[in-house]
Chains A and B, each alone.
Chain A
Amino acid sequence: MTGLLAGGLLLLLIGSLALVRFRDPYERLQGAGVGDVGGAALVMLGLLAGGWDASGGVKLLLLFFLLFTGPIATHAIAKAAFVRRHRPGEGGR
């Protein structure tokens, strides 16, 4: 349980650092998407590993919801940027 939570926290930290350090919006979306989805999945798995009680089903639902909506939101943002002709390499810092 503690290991899963610590791993999820590490992935969240990596994702947020990618959001600051990368150079254009597509790179930032990729790094933040990986960190957010993986970190959210690991943290929710860690909370689920604490023991199955009456709220376990809602936790599982929240896990799958975060797992599905994260990539969809990332894809929506990236597609909007691409449709608006935002070229890779623009918009640094």
Chain B
Amino acid sequence: MGLRDWLAAGILVTSLPPLWRLWRGPTLWDRLAGAGAINVRIALVLACQASLGGQGALLDVALAYTALSFLGTVLVARFGERGER
């Protein structure tokens, strides 16, 4: 295993606790925090694969993924703020 594999495996292992928080967070805010943390880790794995694995196109995918995940998090937060469950 090279550096790329170790880094990707480590980032994926650190995305397991946010997955647990997303599964059973008692409130909507806990679930949003878990989803945001998982999105950051997925973007980092994509960037790592693009930079160390030699697939440069994945860097643009990571950029678009980050923008869309930010939009989704803010939209769901505003949706929950208005109180429509």
- Most B Cβ at <10 Å: residue of A44, A50, A79: A44
The complex places the Cα of A93 from the Cα of B63 at a distance, in Å, of: 33
The complex places the Cα of A63 from the Cα of B40 at a distance, in Å, of: 11
Q: How many B residues touch A, CB cutoff 8 Å?
A: 45
A 42-83 to B, binary, CB cutoff 8 A, 1 in contact else 0: 011001001000110011011001100110111011111101
A8: min CB distance to chain B, Å: 8
Q: What B residues does A65 contact at CB under 8 A?
A: 63, 66-67
Q: Size range of the interface on A?
A: 35 or more
Question: Residue A89 at the B interface, CB < 8 A?
Answer: no
Query: CB distance B10 to A9 under 8 Å?
Result: yes
Chain A residues engaging chain B, CB cutoff 8 angstroms: 2, 5, 9, 12-13, 15-17, 19-20, 25, 28-29, 32, 35-36, 39-40, 43-44, 47, 50, 54-55, 58-59, 61-62, 65-66, 69-70, 72-74, 76-81, 83-84, 86, 91-93
